[in-house]
Amino acid sequence: MISGGGTAGHVYPALAVVKALASGAEQAAHSLLYVGSAAGLERGLVQGAGLDFRPISVAGGLRGVSPLAALRALAGLASGFGQALGIVREFRPDVILATGGYVCAPVVVAGWLSGVPALVYLPDIEPGWTIRFLTPFARRVAVSFPESVRFFPASKAVVTGYPVRPEIVTADRAAARRHFGFAAAEKVLLVFGGSRGAHSLNVAVGEVLDSLLRLAQVIHVTGEQDLLALETRRVDLPAGLRGRYHPHAYLHAEMPLALAAADLAVSRAGASTLGELPAVGLPAVLVPYAPSSGGHRDQERNADYLVRHGAAVRLDEAALARGMLYTTVSRLLTEERILGEMRERARALAQPGAADRLAEELLRLCVGRARRPAPDLAER
């Protein structure tokens, strides 16, 4: 059983592990069920991958919200727990993989009560509320990087790397550029704000779009909310620049091609950036989302990790408002030496085989459970 959701950064690692399981020697023995939120984006991604999907109800997070919203969230988690317990007892999994997001909390606890071991995977550098809460209920906690081990008991933590979709690793740069109609020597800038877009980033790009397009062709993943405004902005561009701008609400199947085609990314610093940018050796300008209401600042930690290793530069929201986006992008795209060094440092962070390592950990837990007597629920 697999659970995780809320953002694509929690879903894609799970799907990468599913592919690793399907390619293993014991693939015929695997029966998989994905449990996600009823209204989350994970439903479409999971069903599109051909997996069985069962929804449960969760009402959002508890941090940085009003007392009334927190009560609703608690009620949603309680309802989701009841639904998850029913699904666990019906499906009777041998192991649970949880990749983060509030939806996986009821699933892991329901599994724990039913004697099902769980492997919790942390896609970010530092754990948020859900992963911290679930650690006591997990048999193992997998992390992407050695410096994340310190947040967990040594007996539970294992470094696996970030599981990246195989399509990202195998995407060919020349073929990707032909797909988008880019010349081989043309600089390409990829802008994306996560699975739902990022309004402040979209506004900053729109303000300097003419100048950016004189530097590079631009693939812009805008999110649904801002797509119409940016398509209108494209119509208003000078005729010679209009064909150089490619806005999309969202990219799923084409995202590996966009990553392979690009020379530089401008993006948020969600969990996926830690795996996907190194996998293709893509330098980045990262603009981490920092909640004003005191929420978890995981994107800042993710960005700082890539910056420390020379694979990215960081711009905060205030710098966007001061017009620093064009200055930063221009400097990087016109300094091939700097861009080349960042490319190599990004590649050095790649961890091929992470999905296989996570799949192996899951299979070990299955074997370990087979050797234990069934739990007596009345004693729990």
Residue range 264-304, pLDDT digits in tens? 999 999 989 999 999 999 999 999 987 765 556 889 999 99
Residue range 176-224, pLDDT digits in tens? 999 999 988 899 999 998 766 689 999 999 999 999 999 999 999 999 9
CB atoms within 10 A of CB 36: 29
Lowest-confidence segment of 20-24, 42-46, 293-297 by average pLDDT: 293-297
Domain coordinates of the chain in residue numbers? 2-163+353-379, 167-348
Q: How far apart are CA 220 and CA 248, in angstroms?
A: 6
- Topology at the third CATH level for domain 2-163+353-379: Rossmann fold (3.40.50)
Give the alpha-carbon dihedral of 11, 142, 193, 319, to 10 degrees.
170
Give the alpha-carbon dihedral of 263, 267, 269, 274, to 10 degrees.
-30
Say whether pLDDT at 47 is over 50: yes
- Topology at the third CATH level for domain 167-348: Rossmann fold (3.40.50)
**Does the fold of domain 167-348 match that of domain 2-163+353-379?**
yes
Is the pLDDT higher at 380 or at 23? 23
In this prediction the pTM is 0.88
The whole-chain average pLDDT of the chain stands at 89
Contact by Cβ (8 Å): 103, 34: no
Task: For residue 111, give the amino acid letter.
Answer: G
